[in-house]
Amino acid sequence: MAVSINQRGVVYEFGPFRLDVKERLLLRDGEPVSLMPKAFDILVLLVENSGHLVDKNEILSQVWRDSFVEEGNLAQNVYLLRQAMADSRQQCSIETVRGRGYRFVGNVVESSEEITAREQTALVVVDQQIENIAPPALVVSESRLWPRLVALAVLVCALGAAVYFFVTKNATPENGFKAKSIAVLPFKALSNENLDEPLGLGMANSMIIKLSNLQQIPVLPTSTVFKYTGRETDPLIVGRELGVDAVLDGTIQRAGDRVRVTAQLLSVSDGKTLWSDKFDEKFSNIFAVQDSISERMAIALALQISGDDKKLLRKRYTDDTLAYQDYVRGLYFWNKRTEEGIRLSIQYFSDAVEKDPGFALAQAMLADSYALVGYYQYSLFPQKEAYQKARVAAQKALQMDETLSQAHIALATVKQFYDKDFDGAEESYRQAIALNPDSATAHHRYSQLLLVRGRLDDALIEIKLAQQLDPLSVAINNNLGYTLYLRRDYSQAEKFCRKAHETEPAAVQPLINLGMIYEQRGMIDEAFTVLNKARTLAATSVAQSDVLQALGHVYAVSGKKDEARKVLQALTQLSKQEEEAQLSKALVHSGLGEIDEAFQVLEVESKTWPATPTVVTLDPRLDSLRSDPRYQELVKPPGPLSGEMDNENWR
């Protein structure tokens, strides 16, 4: 489709906007909207071709006819257009067709009406403002020179005052705004192949760490916002989805040794810009840009900043830009949690540490990557070796910086799952939380330790804190639901397990937990539906054991004894490769009313328990056993996690 920038006296109307092409004026509800010239030209081009894809090369050739520019300039101007129309995106928007161009989406009406008197007044005001700052004539008689110089000085002072007012207005909150929580979204990478996506996530991570260090305002963790990396998102919609009061949104673009960064802090409730700025620096100055953004954000959020706080905001873990790039790539893959993702995170974190041996944060994240290999039993290393590597890396990180919450978390994981040192693990989790109360990972893992130690009320407190900090986490919502299930609060348990399932339909554990909850609520048909679905998705022997355990118990209590016995046979076969299958058999025997058989299994299994598993101490499906004297002989002091939690949903 041939496109051109219309120069006719046509007015386009869409949503609350009127676009006067001839007068180069965009009005929102009769009020002028400030746009850069190129952004205005792009808007005209897209509106004239509303509903149709406009190729990015066509836009570049039309808008920048006499010059060569990078596609990043186009993306930046589109970004500015979207911000100008931010409060009306439900009515009109600019849609990105990745790799091709843009499309204007909205009901556009072409009008030949003359502009209204109000709009004419606005236009006159704009013209007068432009006229007032026009440069004086180059040739001036001496008698008229001094009055004009005085007038010019007055104008400069007035402009200076206006600039000062504007900067102050944009650096401090309006109407006493004070956020109670904030989300820092991954900065959008303005490049063709999104090669800088990890860098955008790294920028967000740096802001999150700096603000979390202040301990003045809850900041959602990187794991929460990771899902928005590389996605076209409306920051206000995301902010409402995450339940925060303010959102930091930005872009980042690499061009040789230069980096361009834009950032804006938005109030989620009304869409107002609390602060915004642009930075064009050498990439070697990226750390100074991060310091500047975090400090100005703190001012805009009305935080009380002392001298020590400023030091925290300016704290850097490395000054080596190459090491930093490796770190942000490691962070990007660590958040994926897949075996390949963890393999790459280890590679990049190791490279970062090799380039800068004093990079404590990269060392701490390397430690946690090794710990995850051990927990998930990934094939990258034998489990024992993985935990040993995690310990060494965590200890190195703490020797360099004992205030690193991430290092304490990694060390606690090793103590909990490898050393079986539960007192030591609890101490490390507490240290991690004291250093960073906003760490959803620390609260989550600590809650699971408390749960298996029998401290159900304390576990519920910690998992709720984790859920508030990371409201979209599948693992956290699922484990909050499981904790509520153990408390017999089935209605609330269903709510959070269902939320986990809706977020990640392919996750097995939320479906298993829903089946257990439905059974307790007497919803047998619903229990069979979700458990049969879980059975088709279960890929590991642990997951298969958990599904069969839940399914076999529902068969048993619903009178389908033949099906329950088939499950027992399957568990017997599975127990040859998965120890937990034996414990699962005890649950099915209990459902069948075969109490002696259930105790026979439990008595044999108890000989290998460092402490009694959570399913034995708290699960309602074994309530029928707890009045039997044999049960008390089985119960040992609460201790290590026995393994019945699904590995794919724990972090």
Looking at the structure, tell me whether residues 484 and 627 fall in a common domain.
Answer: yes
Residue 23 sits in a domain of what CATH number? 1.10.10.10
Q: Which of 258, 284, 313 is the last residue of a domain?
A: 313
Kindly state whether residues 598 and 578 are assigned to the same domain: yes
Q: How far apart are CA 547 and CA 544, in angstroms?
A: 5
In the three-class reduction of DSSP (H, G, I as helix; E, B as strand; rest coil), residue 382 is classed as: coil
User: Residue 334 corresponds to which tokens in the numbers above?
Assistant: 């660590």
Domain match, 194 and 283 both: yes
Two structure tokens written together for 429 = 């989790």
Say what the pLDDT of residue 497 is.
96
Angle at 318 between CA 313 and CA 324, to 5 degrees: 105
What pLDDT is recorded for position 580? 75
Six token digits for residue 123:
């236009």
Element housing 12 (H / E): strand 11-14
Cβ distance 643 to 582 under 8 Å?
Answer: no
8-state DSSP, 219:
B
**Would you say residue 252 lies in a domain?**
yes
Q: With a cut of 70, which residues of the chain have pLDDT below it?
A: 1-9, 66-73, 76, 86-92, 98-99, 112-177, 191-196, 610-611, 636-651
Chain CA centroid to CA 372, Å: 19
- Residue bearing tokens 């967000």: 204
Residue 168 CB contacts under 8 Å (≥ 6 apart), including other chains:
none
The order of strands in the sheet holding 25-28 is 31-32, 25-28, 17-20, 11-14, 109-111
Residue 372 belongs to domain with CATH number = 1.25.40.10
Helix (H, G, I), strand (E, B) or coil at 229: coil
Residues 303 and 337 in one domain: no
Q: Evaluate whether 293 touches 207 at the Cβ level (below 8 Å).
A: yes
Give domain status of residue 292, yes or no: yes
327 and 260 housed in the same domain = no
Domain-terminating residue out of 313, 335, 366:
313
Please check whether residues 409 and 482 belong to one and the same domain. Answer: no
Residue 595 placed within a domain: yes
How far is it, in rounded angstroms, from Cα 102 to Cα 91?
A: 17
4 inside domain: no
The domain boundary, picked from 438, 454, 486, lies at: 438
> Does 500 share its domain with 644?
yes
The verdict on residue 131 lying in a domain is no
Q: Please tell me the predicted confidence (pLDDT) of residue 558.
A: 94
* 243, two tokens: 């339940």
Place of tokens 């836009």: 59
Q: Are residues 508 and 373 in the same domain?
A: no
30 Rama class: left (phi>0) / alpha (psi -120 to 50) / beta: left
Assigned domain for 490 exists: yes
- Say if residue 333 is in the same domain as residue 309: no
Q: Confirm whether 68 is domain-assigned.
A: yes
Check: CB of residue 462 under 8 Å from CB of residue 480. no
Assess whether 292 and 333 both reside in one domain: no
Distance CA 399, CA 210 (A): 21
Domain with 397, as residue range(s), is 323-438
Query: Is residue 329 located within the same domain as residue 284?
Result: no
How far is Cα 285 from Cα 102, in angstroms, rounded to an integer? Answer: 33
Q: How many domains does the chain have?
A: 4
Residue 362 pLDDT: 96
SS3 of 34, please?
coil
Strands 188-189 and 246-255: parallel
CATH code, domain with 266: 3.40.50.10610
Query: CA-based angle 311:312:315, to the nearest 5?
Result: 85
320 dihedral zone (left: phi>0; alpha: psi -120 to 50; beta): beta
Do residue 193 and residue 280 come from a single domain?
yes
Residue at 142 is within a domain: no
